[in-house]
Structure 1
């Protein structure tokens, strides 16, 4: 299929794609450039990539695929350099959350016949190669945008390749892509960040809100911990669609405001009921916002209880991603929150602890 693959940017997404390719294809040569030397050195030590140094970009000329995995604006800045050595067999692809501006830059650089837009719908609030893993793309949609100029055989082969590393390719036009991602990813990230800023700016000097901000509030604002630089780039490159959808969102807020102001019990209940029905119908598969594999355990307030639970799970070769006491349980039963790395581990941990007479809530 492919013999050599290059990466520009080896952070969370680039690193995870590279790791997944290495897992499935031991004989493919993988090389990478990144502005963080430590990422290159660590990826070389992991045997994910074959180079342990920063090399001139024109050494990517013999790659079959070049993945652009830096922020959108930086990816665009590399296009004139890539244009200098592209050949008819090469594929240039990106992983960016915005396609319109990238597609225009591709046209401006006369690279349409080489470019396939890509966007793996997975991620994390964590960043960098150190947080990447070879299963991040597992059963995640991988959005592919087609400009209808590149050879269709290239598209078909690329989609087969993406499938082979565990992802689920799905084709959209660039405009469809940017509208969809603005709706289900970009605007929600803005809302989450604005909620955090709202609480911070309205808290008392005693920081009471921050003290009790756990449970539901922390869950719905988790994505506010994502990379500020990445979201700066996204807002600047998908501005028109984000602004249009923010206006629509403000109308939804206004519906709640008017219903509450009128004291209309039926309207208020209906707004929450509509949201619940639609939310409950959404697939639990991987999307743009990373799944969290967590559950809650009832525990007594006694010395060593967390250590005992951790030991029980460790004896079953189960690795805990995160564990901690929930002090604000307004919306959640169970005093101990346990987060696992994947769905299989979560269900196995639940069954193991139930077998040990612990009460579990999910």
Structure 2
């Protein structure tokens, strides 16, 4: 079963996976690689990985399971590089926040009896700031880990067994598994993850423009301001790829929010404002 794991990308998620595997009782080897050597060294010092690889392709070739914990475009690049050099006794999986393009790439390059398997995954867990130093062994506890697996894929017996084993380790890390189609995945996360991020970004940016010079701003804002703008600290480097690979679904969600905000603006003195609060309260209760 799974004894050798490679984590390509030892940022927040990759390092947290290493820590969570260890906490769940995984005793095999974990090799890490990161474009920033400092991030890999942090992961090593935290005990998330056993050693640092210098060549990500060589690290992957020497492993049974390869976790791609890098931005989406980098994941797609790695998939093309790894497909010709990995074999049917290996499995690649990922943690990307959008799944349609990754699943389509998996269908083109992996999941046949003579090639490595690929299991597209997405843990619904994270923090507004990245980096190995923010990693947490409990990050995935009580979180949902989404998979966009295709039942029709013809994996080899070895890679199919590794896919099952990886799912078992995800559960051991404390997560709950949910299987979705890739298009449905991207539609749902556009509403529950991507829209909150872009709304927080817009709110933080407009306050910075309009009130950023007010010295008393943060004292007056208090908890409400902190909670509503927490996601405004998220890095553009991660969200750029998400915006590029889920553009239509995000744009549709943003347009719906724009219309709802306009409706609220137009009804600040009418009973319809109460209806909006009742709907919002109902959503929170449910």
TM-score normalised by structure 2 residue count: 0.90
How many angstroms does 1:62 deviate by?
Answer: 3.2
Tell me the equivalent position of 1:59.
59
How far, CA to CA, are the matches of 2:265 and 2:173 in structure 1? 47
Tell me the equivalent position of 1:273.
278
How far, CA to CA, are the matches of 1:30 and 1:154 in structure 2? 15
* Structure 2: tracts of 5 or more residues without a match: none
Note closer, same or farther for the CA distance 1:211–1:162 as it changes in structure 2 (3 Å cut): same
Is residue 58–residue 82 contact of structure 1 (8 Å, CA) maintained in 2? no
CA deviation map 1:14-60 (0-9, x unaligned):
10001111222352110111011112223223333221452352232
How far, CA to CA, are the matches of 1:204 and 1:100 in structure 2? 38
The match for 1:116 among 90, 115, 119 is 119
SS of equivalent residue, structure 2 residue 32: strand
Note closer, same or farther for the CA distance 1:32–1:240 as it changes in structure 2 (3 Å cut): same
How far, CA to CA, are the matches of 1:69 and 1:204 in structure 2? 35
Tell me the equivalent position of 1:217.
225
TM-score normalised by structure 1 residue count: 0.72
Tell me the equivalent position of 2:49.
49
1:310-329 correspondence runs (5 A): none
Say yes or no: does 1:137 pair with 2:140. yes
SS of equivalent residue, structure 1 residue 279: helix
Tell me the equivalent position of 2:185.
177
CA deviation map 1:234-272 (0-9, x unaligned):
111111111111112222112212322xx32x2111111
Tell me the equivalent position of 1:104.
104
SS of equivalent residue, structure 1 residue 106: helix
Note closer, same or farther for the CA distance 1:181–1:163 as it changes in structure 2 (3 Å cut): same
Tell me the equivalent position of 2:83.
83
Tell me the equivalent position of 1:168.
176
1:150-161 correspondence runs (5 A): 150-151=154-155, 153-161=161-169
1:194-213 correspondence runs (5 A): 194-203=202-211, 205-213=213-221
Is residue 31–residue 53 contact of structure 2 (8 Å, CA) maintained in 1? no
How far, CA to CA, are the matches of 2:92 and 2:263 in structure 1? 45
Is residue 112–residue 147 contact of structure 1 (8 Å, CA) maintained in 2? no
Q: How many residues align?
A: 277
SS of equivalent residue, structure 1 residue 214: helix
Tell me the equivalent position of 1:125.
128
Tell me the equivalent position of 1:317.
none
Is residue 203–residue 210 contact of structure 1 (8 Å, CA) maintained in 2? no
CA deviation map 1:167-190 (0-9, x unaligned):
111111111111111101101100
How far, CA to CA, are the matches of 2:56 and 2:181 in structure 1? 33
How far, CA to CA, are the matches of 1:45 and 1:128 in structure 2? 14
* Structure 1: tracts of 5 or more residues without a match: 282-362
How far, CA to CA, are the matches of 1:27 and 1:210 in structure 2? 47
1:21-36 correspondence runs (5 A): 21-36=21-36
Tell me the equivalent position of 1:354.
none
Is residue 141–residue 170 contact of structure 1 (8 Å, CA) maintained in 2? yes
Note closer, same or farther for the CA distance 1:27–1:66 as it changes in structure 2 (3 Å cut): same
SS of equivalent residue, structure 1 residue 136: coil
